[in-house]
Structure 1
């Protein structure tokens, strides 16, 4: 006697309910493969769930927030980093005022003794409220007066002749 739900996509919050249901069905004599089929899970997932229950009891079935590695910088250190960055790149020995992720990482290494992957540096900067700024590319030899004249006279002439 079994019924098939055959739901294959679950939200993370559903997994505690599924683990409890696996345990309940096992208690009434269901086989692991039948539990897996009925709930739309793999037999391995059911097996791991029942193992967690054997090892930890009902606590093993509870939903937990997935753990990640702890942050390398504390909130206080992040605040210090923001203060350091606001002093400017030149103040930290760089030849110009441009902050790059590599430069920010150098400051982090010097001040706090830890290093980040450059993608993580970008995430830290975003967390601090900084955003990517791309400089406007302009030819060095460009003459502003001639550009202004071209915009005011030549573009108007081109537009008139187009009509």
Structure 2
């Protein structure tokens, strides 16, 4: 149900933020901790040519490691 339909059916309570955004994570808590450790080491330490993390690079790390 889209936000407008929820608003028409339930009023303002129907469209308040519920604390969730986007797709649920597929990583476990321990995998998230490991990903954080990898990211904090920096892109160069992970084989990239510069110190720029991008969403693409992070997704590559996730695919390779998990």
Fold agreement, TM-score > 0.5: yes
* Superposition deviation, residue 70 in structure 1: 4.9
TM-score, reference length from structure 1: 0.27
Residues 2-55 of structure 1: CA distance to partner in whole angstroms, max 9, x if unpaired?
xxxxxx54435xxxxxxxxxxxxxxxxxxxxxxxxxxxxxxxxxxxxxxxxxxx
Q: Partners in 2 of 1:94 and 1:77 — Cα distance?
A: 21
List structure 1 segments (4+ residues) > 6 angstroms apart after TM superposition: none
Partner of 2:20: none
> How much is the aligned-residue C-alpha RMSD, in angstroms?
1.8
Q: Give the whole-Å Cα distance in 2 for the aligned partners of 1:92 and 1:110.
A: 11
Whose relative contact order is higher, 1 or 2, with alpha carbons under 8 Å and at least 6 apart? 2
Aligned mates of 1:100, 1:75 — CA distance in 2: 22
Equivalent in 72, 92, 96 of residue 46 of structure 2 = 92
Deviation at 1:71, TM superposition (A): 2.4
SS at match of 2:51: coil
Counterpart secondary structure, 1:107: helix
**Could you say which residue in structure 2 is the equivalent of 1:102?**
56
Structure 2, unpaired ranges of 5+: 1-8, 15-22
Matched residue of 1:91: which SS? helix
Residue aligning to 1:81:
35
Please identify the structure whose Cα radius of gyration is greater.
Answer: 1
Instruction: Give matches, 1:1-163, under 5 Å.
Output: 8-10=9-11, 11-12=13-14, 70-112=24-66
